[in-house]
Structure 1
């Protein structure tokens, strides 16, 4: 069959081309469909079907690529699986990185705090180095020996020296000798022996031989020592008055010089006697006067008794019948003012008037009083020359009632501090001699703490703190500086003059050198900006809260505080209390007083940024809270119960307030006293005036711990221990008694109850009854209620103040 190559044959060729093109398009479409199906894997194509198709296609050889479509699809699937695996691994790595990033973000505030603490420590170390370089180390030398007076110029023995320097050999009394004292008796009577025992009990630096002594006390019954030498004290316990002797200081009622001690020791009580309360004010008699001196013209006093008065003016001329000791005391105790004339009975009547609350009106400008160069008797007595006797009634009747009560109070204080019994008089005499010779006492660590954990105060193991520190960029509370102790015994010599008045007349405690002073002098505020006076200051830069949080500022050099935390049978509660104090600025250390005497504590406690020292005590006694432990190395003490949950902002605010009011109790929950009917009551209700701060959360000066433990009446401490209550009331009574000021309340807190604590004193049914009784007992012991009312509280200076956007408050919540 012949094929024609004409027009019809030419038309066949294009049709072949079209068919080839269509076949090519078909395979391309098929390839695309299969490719898409292999990646999208729709639900209507099963894995078996797809595998079957690939196997079918595997026999096909793509002429353009040399590989089958099945092989290409398998390769693409392998690549896809590899990419998916890489994506999965990358996702895991991203999660790990994100976890690390979150951990780093969480640690940034803590590391910033640590960095700030390190920077503070470096800065503090640099400043301490500069301050140490500025400190002058002064060597101490013994005083010169007394100048030897040529024999031809020596004064006759019958002429008495008139200066202390004439009879003191200072070479035996170095300031570092702490005044060693030797005591003996010249006569061997019963009274002399009793006084010898008294001195041996109270002398802190007693020596057995006179050659080692700075001061030699010779006790005598009116008989002078035949061989008195330098630095001798003639302590006359007899009625005969010893005439002046060279090289000796006299202690007797009369025939004394300016440096002698006018004290009639015969009328000093063997033991303390009860004192008359300050109130009620009204007495039966306005004035009493006992005339012992028969040489005086008794008619000269008639003008006084003739003056009109709503209350009697009693004048008694002494005789054997009406001048007995009992009669004199009865008359003094029933009078508001006791007019005292110089006589042999002057000291007896003077002491009785102080004891019985009668204001001594001394009718002489020359009559000497006990320790009058140190004690300001003007605060408790009034002097009048005898010539003003006709005008005396007008003078005393013009006194305000408040002044009379204050003179009674101060006179009572002087009496019970210096003259109430033999031991007090002996201690006062030693203190007066120490002041005259300007010799500090030895540093005596009377309250050496016993570590709870073997030889270490800190727990053997430290656990990680569970509570995270509250970090707020806008409200830092202060830098975490290195620990710094308050400078102790810095006033060993200025106390003899600059602070002498305060020691003898206000805080009434001159018997030993103080570790700290409550009201030490402050530098002018611009001193912190001068090179030679800026040591220790941390001035606040101009600005509001942001600058305020960077430094302590104030009027004094930088300082820190110690937390004293009393605990009993609440280990978990104590752990929480410790954790809340972690990273607290200006905290020096925490002292835990372990009152659990019948069991050992756990070995592990939270590990804080400062030391936590555990102290072992002999008994479960609430007075342990106020023991001036030697481990307390700061003036500021935060007394804290273990169940108290305070914000750190509140603590720092109270610390700053205390720094400006160091003689006050500064704290949080306030209470007050109230009188209903004839009795005094303790009251915890909300009120607009308060008189007490609970010491479960309060700042107190360390000196008050010493006063509580050693100077407060022992009956109060004994009562607190017996009823296991009222130690906070006792401390408030003591501080108000010494300062005549109320405590200071900070923030709005009114209660500190712990709802989860199973052991709490306030939950006892008799809690309030005990506290009512405490107030009545303490008032009786003091002779009056020393608590003072206050009607304000202290908040931060910008609290509730509307500030511009570019300013920040001092604290966020207080």
Structure 2
């Protein structure tokens, strides 16, 4: 049983396993049947439905009730399908209709947003205009001074003015002998020059002097043909030809018979120019009444200080000096420490009757003559051989005629100049007769020394030098009393190289400005009289803008090259109304107060400028206490970081704007892209496009609307000098000169503008360059490589003052502009030379930008190798014209305040990326 039990227990599980296997087999068979026959059944029903769709319901023979039910069910499903399809089509149509309405509404929303933004901008602009108007009104009320305008030009009403002569003719001064009523401050200083055929002795005048004088007078801005409105009447009296002698009584009669002499000759100027070392003192015994005298030779009893004037000798009749013949100003020290050539002939009797008569008057009262001591001392220095000097007291050839007690000139002018080119200093020994306070011989020595850069050392402090009441000769010459002759050698050796070069540089300026040409000689004479009676110079001319009409259509977009500045604005965008820089605010202060600067610094006193970068600056508190007109301090004076900084210009000068000047030549697409990038630029007054091509712009060209005027000016010829013409359409002091293919971000431009406002007398810009010394050829090279030191900032992207546009176009030597036209190159180098020459300062580079990339632009001329060779030649030629290298090196670059400074969360940087 146990076994059976065991066997029985084992058999039960076996049965269970077989049962499970049967179930599994059945399930598998059932699944097989379903998988095989279900597709067939489904295909049957689908085919039936398709048949019903295609041909309508079919009538089947009713085999049974189940088949009929199946057919009705299929028909119900078809109807449901059709109903659902129709509903879906209707819903799709509604969806498309709603999407169209949504798109239209979105367009309306965008349009409304733009309208709101435009309205906000208009409102902001109106608020700004109102604010500026209120501010200006408050300034006017606080200042209580109306804007000054020029008064009506006053002219003399009568031709006769009778007032008593001074007791002594030699006591004439401006206050007692000059009729100011004929010369109102606003008269313009009209000058009438007597025609030479109105007096007989004009036929005796040297033809060269006569011709040059008339040519100069014909182009002089002050000369008028209407004698009734004249302030000053000019009479040319000499010099006379050769040994011609004119009796004093005859000359006096002819002068008194002049049409507008009016009995005493008031407001007349008698000019006796000198071309020879011994010029006749025609007016010595002539009664000149109240007429002023301008000549190179004077005795002390004849000269009336502050009334008569001593001009320079008349040597050159050329329109511009030949700069290539003038020796360079360096090296500072030359072969000879000093030189002197001359001969004193005691027995030489002058043919001048006034000299003989004057000697008779002063005989027995002659002062001590130090000439013997001078000769002995100079010979001792020469013999000591401590320094190489050259002194000769006897001429190798016949000496030039000279006045008594005066040292005669030796040799020809060319020979004298060759010696002076080798001399660091040149001695000028004044006449032994101290009563001879001015002589043509001394003036010619002074003139020749300045011409070739030999520093004059004048022995004798009693002499009167040309234009001595306006020119500070101590900056260009040494005036040493004769008793100090024994100390002269020590004095000359003690002067440093920098002082020597400054004196030589100043002497070159005086020679170029007042003595070098016939035009300068006459201009200096007239300017002396004009300065004495305190009449401003004539305004310097501006270049008339011949505008080219153009179509303005499309609105410019935002600058794609503009960096993301976040919430920081750069200034008032399209909200500040146009504001022109004030002009001619210092007409009379420049004439009266700045006489020294006008006469002793370039460009000289011959022109009145509307504004200069050298105008004085008020102290900081003045803008808050009584002189705040035009100032816009940051944070109303409290200062601040970026937010307050961008809301106002601040600085030390009143508010202003700048003008973009862009030179272009037949690159319309590049030009349009560059103009669009200026859209929305703060403080932009206008854009002046200098159209340098003879071919006008395309008629179908549409210019962008950038929110400020775009003025297109036509030029007379294709010249790079046109970039710097002082166009009359430029109404601001600040000019941003920019190439038509230069890419500058707005924040870079604004940063450069703010920096320039603090350095108005300098070029402030982006691409820096360098003048390098070529040791092999002992000359200069133009270097555009990256350098830690620079000396130029290219004007393809730079700010400068309009003052320099006047100087470049009208004052700078024509030879430089001619070379720019010849090479079609180097105008930017020429401008850097000019500014450094005037200021003696290097330019200022801002930001790290060194070059400009213009994608899609044609290849620039600067990519050509010949471009750099031409620039090498330009630099060396400009150095010859100036006589030295004006460019100065700088290792200084300007970056933004607070650029890398960590600020609190409530502060913002001045410029985020600069």
Q: TM-score, normalized by length of structure 1? A: 0.85
Aligned counterpart, 2:497:
401
Aligned counterparts, 1:372-383, within 5 A: 372-383=468-479
User: Does the residue aligned with 2:169 lie in a helix, a strand or coil?
Assistant: coil
Equivalent residue number for residue 618 of structure 1: 716
- Assess, with a 3 A threshold, how the Cα gap between structure 1 residues 388 and 445 changes in structure 2: closer, same or farther: closer
Contact 2:312 2:515 in 1 (8 A): no
Contact 1:160 1:245 (C-alpha < 8 Å) held by counterparts = no
Helix, strand or coil at the partner of 2:280: coil
Match of 1:524 among 615, 619, 629: 619
Q: Deviation digits for residues 20-50 of structure 1, max 9, x if unmatched?
A: xxxxxxxxxxxxxxxxxxxxxxxxx99x99x
For the structure 1 residues 445 and 264, does the alpha-carbon distance in structure 2 shift closer, same or farther, using more than 3 Å as the test? closer
Matching residue of 1:283: 334
How far the C-alpha of 1:660 sits from its partner, in A, is 0.7
- Equivalent pair of 2:313/2:443 in contact (CA under 8 Å): no
Question: Per-residue deviation at 1:310?
Answer: 3.8
Structure 2 unaligned regions, length at least 5: 1-48, 58-81, 240-250, 347-368, 400-409, 432-438
Distance (Å, rounded) in 1 between the aligned partners of 2:158 and 2:424: 51
The structural deviation recorded for 1:497 is: 2.5
Residue aligning to 2:133: 125
Question: Are 2:328 and 1:254 aligned?
Answer: no
Indicate the larger mover: 337-346 or 185-194. 185-194
Task: Name the counterpart of 2:805.
Answer: 705
User: Shift in Å at residue 221 of structure 1?
Assistant: 2.1
Q: Which moved more, 1:271-280 or 1:402-411?
A: 271-280
Q: CA separation in 2, counterparts of 1:570 and 1:149? A: 65
- Say whether residues 1:181 and 2:191 are aligned partners: yes
- Give per-residue Cα distances to partners, 1:406-456, cap 9 Å, x unaligned: 111111111011110111111222222221222234546441111112xxx
Separation in 2, partners of 1:686, 1:444? 39
Partner of 2:657: 560
Partner-residue secondary structure (3-state), 1:634: coil
- Mapping for residues 200-211 of structure 1, pairs under 5 Å: 200-211=217-228
- Residue 706 of structure 2 corresponds to which residue in structure 1? 608
1:638 aligns with 2:731: no
How much does 1:103 deviate?
5.5
Once the two structures are superposed, what CA deviation does each residue of 1:748-800 show, in whole Å capped at 9, x if it has no partner? 01112424221521122311111011111111111111100000111111122
Are 2:280 and 1:240 equivalent residues in the alignment?
yes
Task: State the match for 2:629 in structure 1.
Answer: 535
Question: Structure 1: how far apart are the matches of 2:186 and 2:371?
Answer: 56
CA contact (8 A) 2:603 2:811 kept: no
Once the two structures are TM-superposed, the CA of residue 316 in structure 1 deviates from its matched residue by: 2.1
Determine the structure 2 residue equivalent to 1:42: none
Number of aligned pairs?
745
- The counterpart of 2:787, out of the listed 687, 698, 720, is 687
CA–CA distance in structure 1, aligned partners of residues 370 and 187 of structure 2? 54
Change in 2 beyond 3 A, CA 1:579/1:368: same
* Equivalent position to 1:652, from 741, 746, 750: 750
Distance of 1:98 and 1:572 partners within structure 2: 34
Equivalent residue, structure 1, for 2:418: 330
Whether 2:556 is the aligned partner of 1:465: answer: yes
Distance in 2 of aligned mates of 1:129 and 1:726: 47
CA distance in 2, matches of 1:724, 1:283: 37
Q: Indicate the residue corresponding to 1:786 in structure 2.
A: 886
- Output aligned runs, 1:350-365, within 5 Å: 350-365=446-461
Counterparts of residues 77-88 of structure 1 (less than 5 Å): none
Cα distance change, pair 269–340 in 1 and its aligned pair in 2 (3 A)? farther
1:797 to 883, 887, 897: 897
Distance in 1, Cα, partners of 2:331 & 2:806: 32
What is the rounded CA distance, in whole Å, between the counterparts of 2:669 and 2:555 in structure 1? 15
**1:722 paired to 2:795:** no
Instruction: Work out whether residues 290 and 340 of structure 1, in 8 Å CA contact, stay in contact via their aligned partners in 2.
Output: no
Q: Judge which range, 789-798 or 298-307, deviates more.
A: 298-307
Q: What do residues 517-571 of structure 1 show as CA deviations (whole Å, max 9, x unaligned)? A: 21111111122223x3211111101210011000010000000111110001110
Q: Aligned residue for 1:4?
A: none
Matched, 1:771 2:845: no
CA 1:753–1:80 in structure 2 vs 1: closer, same or farther (change >3 Å)? closer
Q: Alpha carbons of 1:605 and 1:230: their partners in 2 closer, same or farther (altered >3 Å)?
A: same
Q: 1:446-485, aligned counterparts within 5 Å?
A: 446-453=542-549, 459-467=550-558, 472=565, 474-480=567-573, 481-485=576-580
Pair 445,406 (structure 1): closer, same or farther in 2 beyond 3 Å: closer
Deviations 1:389-422 (A, max 9, x none): 1001111101111111111111111101111011
Residue 226 of structure 1 corresponds to which residue in structure 2? 256
Q: Distance in 1 between matches of 2:856 and 2:98?
A: 49
In structure 2, relative to structure 1, the CA distance for the partners of 1:291 and 1:800 (3 Å cut) is same
Whole-Å separation in 1 of the counterparts to 2:905 and 2:761: 38
Look up the match of 2:671.
574
Per-residue deviation, residues 96-147 of structure 1 (Å, max 9, x unmatched): 4445445555776666555443332332233344556644356568599999
3-state SS of the aligned residue for 1:261?
coil
Alpha-carbon contact 1:562-1:591 (below 8 Å) kept: yes
SS of the residue 2:390 aligns to: strand
Question: Cα distance 1:468–1:95, how it changes in 2: closer, same or farther (>3 A)?
Answer: farther
Which residue matches 1:313? 389
| Pairs within 5 Å for 1:406-445 | 406-443=502-539, 445=541
C-alpha displacement of 1:367: 1.6
Is the 8 Å Cα contact of residues 190 and 230 (structure 2) preserved in structure 1? yes
The 2-side partners of 1:77 and 1:358 are apart by: 110
Where structure 1 has 5 or more consecutive residues not aligned to the other structure, the ranges are: 1-44, 53-73, 454-458
CA contact (8 A) 1:144 1:170 kept: no
Residue matched to 1:24: none
Contact 2:139 2:628 in 1 (8 A): no
CA offset at residue 94 of structure 1?
Answer: 4.5
TM-score (norm 2): 0.76
Partner-residue secondary structure (3-state), 1:796:
coil
Moved more, 211-220 or 472-481: 472-481
* Paired residue secondary structure (2:634): coil
Q: Give the aligned partner of residue 214 of structure 2.
A: 197
CA distance in 1, matches of 2:913, 2:788: 22
Residues 269 and 206 of structure 1, relative CA distance in 2, 3 Å threshold: closer
Check conservation: 1:431, 1:512, Cα contact below 8 A: no
Kept in 2: contact 1:537–1:558 (CA 8 A) = yes
Equivalence for 1:736: 836
Q: Is the 8 A contact 1:145 1:169 kept in 2?
A: no
Stretch deviating more after TM superposition (460-469 or 107-116): 107-116
Q: Distance in 2 between matches of 1:317 and 1:80?
A: 125
8 A Cα contact 2:293 2:309, kept in partner: yes
What is the Cα-based RMSD across aligned positions, in Å? Answer: 3.3
Q: Distance in 1 between matches of 2:906 and 2:592?
A: 50
- Report what 1:41 is aligned to: none
Task: Give the superposition deviation at 1:498.
Answer: 2.3
Give the Cα separation in 2 of the matches to 1:270 and 1:96: 78
Give how far 1:606 is off: 0.4
Residue 234 (structure 2) aligns with: 217
Q: Secondary structure at the match of 2:695?
A: coil
Please state whether the residue corresponding to 1:289 is helix, strand or coil. Answer: strand
Q: Cα–Cα, structure 1 residues 264 and 792, in superposed 2: closer, same or farther, change >3 Å?
A: closer
Cα distance in 1 for partners of 2:725, 2:538 equals: 20
8 Å CA contact 1:568, 1:596 repeated in 2 = yes
> Partner residue of 1:299?
372
Kindly indicate whether the alpha-carbon contact (under 8 Å) linking 1:198 and 1:426 is maintained by their aligned counterparts in 2: no
